[in-house]
Each structure stands twice: as structure tokens, then as C-alpha cells.
Amino acid sequence: MSAANLQIRPDGHLRHFLCIEGLNRGLLTEILDAAESFAGVAEQSVKKVPLLRGKTIVNLFFEASTRTRTTFELAAKRLSADVLNINISASAAVKGETLLDTLRNLEAMHVDMFVVRHAESGTAHFFACKALPHVSVINAGDGRHEHPTQAMLDMFTIRREKGADFGRLRVAIVGDILHSRVARSQIHALNLLNTGEVRVIAPRTLLPAHVESLGVRVFNDLREGLRDIDVVIMLRLQRERMQGALLPSEREYYQLYGLTEEKLSMARPDVTIMHPGPINRGVEMDSQVADGPRSVILQQVTYGIAVRMAVMSMAMQQNTPAGTASA
């Protein structure tokens, strides 16, 4: 079964959240609206709602992560779920236990949801195919495939900063498009939300073949690509996934593609700067830009909790109508 079909229950509600590709605009908007209702929870004296009380959620991270793992953990706890973080380096997986055996053993502990991050594309889909009918699976990043909750928190950030009308926006994604699961999810989400124009800006060696087929305009020159842009999403150079010499040096990359105030002069004056993190300062962008007034990088981290609360609650059919989550 395709990931798109696997994600949706017969009644149209979310069961798993594996990828953006194949979903529809209505569902993405529903996630964003639900996240809006959860955004105020952090400002309450008691930062919890009881929607997932009695549920057990397992964070199963086979790759290192700080922002994604901790925001998923906080999101689950703010929904009043019990959370189990598996230390893969000290688990039976390092002794040769298969993914399926890991799944079955954890299911035997009456788990309700898995949040899975893995270096191999398709791992979250595998878990969703094999999971018991009552168990939901959230993809926290799989190989070079997708990172759907990161894309949704980016869409939420854009909507908060620029308003709900994506059709009037020009958005540029800059950097290592080839190895970025975040970029793939972002492109799918931006197009589903009818964004006016989506651009990718990168050296030719860091662009996937036939990337234009994803519905983007391609630029190899940063200054030209930034002309009249409303939102710039910078990407991390993913050295750990590169094979061969795709770049002469990080210094040369910064000279050509590193975001500076001078290069930003090509964009609109109220341009919004984003980055999924972690930032390689002096490689992907200058600190003056990363810490400047147009940067919303820290807001993205904050919004990530609300978006992941929305996805978790919807996947367990516990979604609360907008405006009631913080009541």
C-alpha cells in the first residue's frame, strides 16, 4: 500500500503521518488549524491538555537528534501521554535485533504510537505497514525521503509570519536540496498550499535530477534566485550523506551560497529567514542574518511543539476543534 493511502483512515481522518506527498490541501490546513489551537498551551500556568491521557508514545530514534526528539517528547507530554525514549545505542538493535522484532516487542508493552527516525528511507512506512491496527506511526525523518512534521512546522511559521494566503508568496529553498528530506517535504507542502512560486537555489551538484518535475523554479545563482523573495528557507549541508566531492570547500560554498546581508538585499525588505537547524554558521549563513530581526529560526522550534501536538492528536482521533485546546 502506498504511503499516501496508508496514512488516511476510511473515514478520512489521519492514522499515520509518513509523508506530505499524496496528501491534500484540506488535511494540511486542518493540521495547521489544529496547531493554532495548541499554540497557546505553552503560555498556560499548567502546560498540559488531557487529550492523550493514558496513551503511550515511544520515541524510536535511530539517528541523532536534538530539536526533533525533544519537541516530540514535549508535545506528547503536553498532551498528557506517557513517553518512552529508546536509547538505540543501548538497545537490542545493536545486538542484531530486527526492526520487526523491535516493533513487536514494544507493541507487547501496549504502545499506542511510534515516532520513528531512521537513516534508511521507508523505515516509517515499514513500521506503519506492520503495526497493529490501533497503533499510529509518525515519521520523524527517514533517510533522504521526507520529514513531514518539519515541513508542517515550517508552513505554520510562514502562515504566522505572512498570513494564510500562500498564493501571494515567493518562497526560496537554498542549499543541499539533493540530500535533504526536509526540502522534499517542504516543496510538496508549499505546492499543496498553492504557493505563488517555489524556487530552489543550489549548485548543480546539490540538485536532484529532474527537480523541476516537483513544481519548482531552479536557480544556480543565489543573488538572482533571491530577487523579490518573501521567504528564504536555508538548508544544512549534509556532509554525512554526501558521497564523493560534491563541493570544492565549505569556504567556497559560503562565498557563493552563504546567506549574508549583502545578498539578502535582492529579496523583499520584509523577507523572512528560516532554517530547520542545526545551523553551520559561516557556511550556510552569517551570524548577523541568523540572529537578525528577520530571522524566525527560534520561533520555528517553538512552533514545532504545537504542530507535533496537532499531528499526534489527529492520528489518535483526538483532535480538538480550534480554539478549545487551551480552554
Q: What is the pLDDT along the chain (327 residues), one digit of tens a residue?
A: 666 679 999 888 899 999 999 999 999 999 999 999 999 998 898 899 999 999 999 999 998 888 999 999 999 999 999 999 987 765 656 556 799 999 999 999 999 999 999 999 999 999 999 999 999 999 999 998 999 999 999 999 999 999 999 999 999 999 999 999 999 999 999 999 999 999 999 999 999 999 999 999 999 999 999 999 999 999 998 765 444 446 667 888 999 999 999 999 999 999 999 999 889 999 999 999 999 999 999 999 999 999 999 999 999 974 333 444 443
Do residues 152 and 196 share a domain? yes
Helix axes 25-38, 181-192, angle to 10 degrees: 100
pLDDT digits (tens, 9 = 90+) for 128-177: 999 999 999 999 999 989 999 999 999 999 999 999 999 999 999 999 99
Same domain, 138 and 160: no
pTM listed for this prediction: 0.92
Whether residue 154 sits in one domain with residue 76: no
* Number of folded domains that form the chain: 2
Through-space distance between the first and last CA atoms of the chain, rounded to whole angstroms: 39
Same domain, 101 and 185: no
Do 16 and 138 lie in a common domain?
Answer: yes
Residue 50 burial (10 A CB sphere; 0-12, 13-18, 19+): exposed
Three-state secondary structure string covering 147-173: CHHHHHHHHHHHHHHHCCCHHHCEEEE
C-alpha–C-alpha distance, residues 167 and 107, integer Å: 43
Domain of residue 309, CATH code: 3.40.50.1370
Cell numbers representing residue 156 in the block: 505554520
Say whether the peptide bond before residue 276 is cis (omega within 30 degrees of 0): no
Tell me whether residue 320 is in a domain.
no
Cα 201 from chain centre: 19
Residue-range definition of the domain harbouring residue 39: 3-145+302-315
Residue pointed to by grid coordinates 542549499: 175
309 in any annotated domain: yes
Question: Based on the domain organization, do 31 and 168 belong to the same domain?
Answer: no
153 shares a domain with 141: no
Helices (H), the chain: 3-7, 25-38, 67-78, 99-107, 123-130, 148-162, 181-192, 222-225, 250-257, 261-264, 287-290, 297-315
Same domain flag for 31 and 159: no
Q: Are residues 109 and 10 in the same domain?
A: yes
| pLDDT one-digit tens code per residue, 58-81 | 999 998 888 999 999 999 999 999
Q: Are residues 100 and 201 in the same domain?
A: no
SS3 for 74?
helix
Residue with cell 513487536: 104
Q: Please tell me whether residues 103 and 240 are part of one structural domain.
A: no
Tell me, yes or no, whether 79 lies in a domain.
Answer: yes
Does some domain include residue 324?
Answer: no
**Does residue 163 share a domain with residue 136?**
no
